[in-house]
Amino acid sequence: MASLRTLLALLAALAASSAGAGSHDDGGGGPAAAVLDERAALEMSQAAIGRTLSDHRLTDQGGNALQLGRLAGKPLLISLIYTSCHHTCPMMTRYLARVVEDARDALGEDSFGVLTVGFDTPVDTPERMRTFASMHGVVDPRWVFASADAATMRALTGELGFTFAASPKGFDHLAQTTVVDARGVIYRQVYGETFEPPALIEPLKQLLWGEKAKASSLEGWINGVRLFCTIYDPAAGRYRFDYSIFIGAVIGIGCLGFVAVFVVRLWRQSGRTRQHA
């Protein structure tokens, strides 16, 4: 319990330092307030974990209709931004792009999807979303930038536990990236314009390999090895497969097997000695 309280306190401090700011002051599609209540926003965000997302109708950056359910079947990262933001949203998107690249290197190119949605519905049109992606160097073909109407945005942000409030400088909001599992269930919330890559990649690892590691098959065994031996190297700032962990585990199992064989042989020899006595 103490560790949970500590985690929530750290998240609150991080969220408080990561509220968004921009230049547009006419919002739509979400709650508006003079001041964002960061503690309440964080509580709402955390309360969304375990919630199943509905099959919302969006429009992608090419102007095509997109049902959210079409992105199911693999883990999905969801971020919410507004395109007239000049600081938080661009920084968050550029940093997320770097972490996504690292995650794809570690977990596989097609292992998860990414969705960025513009919550300022009167302004964040498909054209604006496409321009925003291009301006900030996002070229990942598995990353969708999308818009929605006001009613859909209210429903989507409500399910995601995402709160934003109009302010003189644009909007205040949590810098939030939501990790969704392959069934569309919210699994984790990650906060901040920047964060340590494992905060996002470890949940993806658990979703991709954790459940499969429980299977009593060769694939399950391989995924178990991947889960425990793919580690973050702070010096390199990237994930890598650590063979030493695998080799150490094999050596350890081998030593235990040798000890077991030795004990069994010793027990059998002592039994034969008692019989001849």
Q: Is the Cβ–Cβ distance between 114 and 102 less than 8 Å?
A: no
Say how far apart CA 171 and CA 253 lie, in whole Å.
56
Q: What does the alpha-carbon distance between residue 71 and residue 143 come to, in Å, rounded to a whole number?
A: 10
User: Which of 76-85, 147-156, 225-234, 264-273 shows the lowest per-residue confidence on average (mean pLDDT)?
Assistant: 225-234
More confident residue, 32 or 174: 174
Q: Which residues 6+ apart lie within 8 Å of 9 measured at CB?
A: none
Q: What is the mean pLDDT of residues 155-172?
A: 94
Q: pLDDT tens digits, residue range 179-207?
A: 999 999 999 999 999 999 999 999 999 99
For residues 58 and 52, what is the distance between their CA atoms, to the nearest angstrom? 17
Ranking 2-6, 20-24, 263-267 by mean pLDDT, the lowest is 20-24
CA torsion, ordered 113, 116, 121, 127, to nearest 10 deg: -90
Residue in the block written with tokens 């810098």:
175
pLDDT for 57 beyond 60: yes
Distance CA 91, CA 260 (A): 56
Whose CA is closest to 167, among 82, 277, 109? 82
Q: Say how far apart CA 97 and CA 118 lie, in whole Å.
A: 16
User: Where residue 24 falls among pLDDT bands split at 50, 70, 90?
Assistant: very low
pLDDT at 5: 44
What pLDDT is attached to residue 168? 87
Structure tokens at 163: 């709160």
- Which pLDDT score is estimated for 36? 87
Whether pLDDT at 233 is above 90: no
For 180, the 3-state DSSP assignment is strand
pTM above 0.75, yes or no: no
Query: How remote is the C-alpha of 62 from its chain's centroid?
Result: 25
Per DSSP, the three-state class of 157 is helix
CA atoms of 66 and 59, how far apart (whole Å):
5
